[in-house]
Structure 1
Amino acid sequence: MNRERRYGEDEIRQVFARAAEAAEEERANLPSRVDGGLTLGELQAVGLEVGLPPERVAAAAAELDAPPRRVPRRKLLGVPISAGRIVDLPRELTDREWHFLVTELRATFDAKGEVKAEGGIREWSNGNLHAVLEQTEAGHRLRLGTRKGDALETTFVGAMFSVMAVIVAFIMVADGREGAALLVPALMGLGGGGVLVANALRLPRWAGERERQMEHVAAWAQNLLSAAPTGAEEV
């Protein structure tokens, strides 16, 4: 006989923090210490006492048990140029729920984007950023992904200027030039190296921010689908 899942103290805090969406007045009344953990039913009962709907607690627990899967970052010279997350969904979205999700995507990424549907696939996209609802053998999933559009071009320019600076400097030294004459390749090298350093600093921050936004959307979608279907018709 399978034992019912019990959540430890750290997990309990995470579940209620997500369910309460950082509502301090609600979290202040939650148990600070629990011996032996709590089952999902017990979590829902405690949450109900402080005004948290059972379905929100269940969605937060489901997110903890099945977090979005990380899509491996594509890298260029060791620097990330893409980000992505995949989350399994318990069921298909209704038309109305899809509209809700598109609204949340636009608000989260601050972009209007475009919506299209083809066959059993629905997609919202804004440039390289996309959110795709698709069927799988196991059910349904939401696939989120993006690629930094200018990463390849800026890295190429930075590398090209750096290499050219070395070549020009080598030729000038071999030709017997020195002093102020080497200022040109030095400036080229500084410019190219500066671009590469800037990418090394900004692209990891960009990828991290996009992944946090995607995790928010994934959790939001799981919470939306934890309740009964909103809208009479599913597609």
Structure 2
Amino acid sequence: MSDERTYGEEEVAEIFRMAAEARNAGGGTSLAPVNGFTLAELQSIGGEVGLAPERVAEAAAAVDLRRGALRRSELGMPIAVGRTVDLPRAPTDREWEMLVADLRETFGAKGRTGSRGEVREWSNGNLNAFVEPTPTGYRLRLATTKSNGVALNRMGAASLMMALVTIVLLYVTGALAEEMLAPVMLSMMGGGALAWNALRLPGWAQQREEQMEVIAVRAAALLGAPPAPRLSGNGDPLLIPG
């Protein structure tokens, strides 16, 4: 049985939708075979409806990249997102600088760079990007955590718990009617904190995921080509003796 990557029905539809959007047209397909379609089969089908093979390949690559998306939630709200994409090789120094420039522009942050052995890192607070070796090559790993979202979630949950405990104690002592203001205030504080996070965290997570997808696609495209030759001072390629 061939080890060539196959695409299921939902992925097929997504690939053709994205490829069609690239040429300002709608499209998709369905009824994929049980084992899915290979990229060559998708390109053949796409050609029958006017989609260029390279557009289908680009869309398929984007679907593969999305499989590396990660999201961590707390209390049903996203608090951390990440993305991992395999790279065919390590970036050259120049390619790494290009990738760092792309990170700074996309996230609107200068950040700091560093390296440890084969690992290269760009970080800005809780936002991190790593290029690191793997058993099969290299990968770009992007990750960020909304630290104030985590703190607000825990403060909100703690306030609601304190309000509940206070109500129980006041009920037991028979002072609930006279001292109701305190648990009500605690409940409002806790509920407000959780409601604020529920409103803002999904949008934050979606924005970061979209930014990370852009970075992942560009990095894969940048390192998918052979490294550019080093240039001498007059712009000519350097000749390295064998």
TM-score by length of 2: 0.72
- After superposition, the C-alpha distances for 1:16-71 in whole angstroms (9 at most, x for unaligned) are 64xx6xxxxxx35x89899x85349x79x9759xxxxx6xx587255146324335
Letter matched to residue 69 of structure 1: R
Change (3 A) 1:47 1:164: same
Residue identity over aligned pairs, in percent, reads 39
Is the 8 Å Cα contact of residues 89 and 140 (structure 1) preserved in structure 2? yes
TM superposition shift of 1:13: 5.1
Higher RCO (CA-CA < 8 Å; seq separation 6+): 1
Is the 8 Å Cα contact of residues 116 and 123 (structure 1) preserved in structure 2? yes
Is the 8 Å Cα contact of residues 5 and 39 (structure 1) preserved in structure 2? no
Q: Distance in 1 between matches of 2:168 and 2:5?
A: 71
The correspondence for 2:194, drawn from 189, 193, 196, is: 196
Structure 1 partner of 2:33? none
Change (3 A) 1:159 1:223: same
Gapped runs of 5+ residues in structure 2? 30-40, 232-242
Is the 8 Å Cα contact of residues 165 and 189 (structure 1) preserved in structure 2? yes
Structure 2 partner of 1:23? none
Structure 2 partner of 1:38? 43
Deviates most, 167-176 or 141-150: 167-176
Structure 2 partner of 1:215? 213
- Write the mapping of 1:6-21 to structure 2, written as runs, cut at 5 A: 11-12=15-16, 14-15=18-19, 17=21
Change (3 A) 1:184 1:135: same
Q: Distance in 2 between matches of 1:129 and 1:159?
A: 26
SS of structure 2 residue aligned to 1:14: helix
Is the 8 Å Cα contact of residues 79 and 149 (structure 2) preserved in structure 1? yes
Structure 1 partner of 2:181? 183
Letter matched to residue 232 of structure 1: R
TM superposition shift of 1:152: 2.8
Q: Distance in 1 between matches of 2:79 and 2:120?
A: 25
Letter matched to residue 110 of structure 2: K
Is the 8 Å Cα contact of residues 82 and 147 (structure 1) preserved in structure 2? yes
TM-score by length of 1: 0.74
Structure 2 partner of 1:80? 78
- Write the mapping of 1:114-153 to structure 2, written as runs, cut at 5 A: 114-153=112-151
Deviates most, 163-172 or 64-73: 64-73
Letter matched to residue 188 of structure 2: L
Q: Distance in 2 between matches of 1:172 and 1:220?
A: 60
Is the 8 Å Cα contact of residues 14 and 28 (structure 2) preserved in structure 1? no
Is the 8 Å Cα contact of residues 20 and 51 (structure 2) preserved in structure 1? no
TM superposition shift of 1:131: 0.7
Structure 2 partner of 1:157? 155
Is the 8 Å Cα contact of residues 43 and 52 (structure 2) preserved in structure 1? no
Change (3 A) 1:154 1:31: closer
Q: Distance in 1 between matches of 2:17 and 2:202?
A: 29
TM superposition shift of 1:5: 8.7
Structure 1 vs Structure 2 CA RMSD? 3.7
Q: Distance in 2 between matches of 1:4 and 1:183?
A: 63
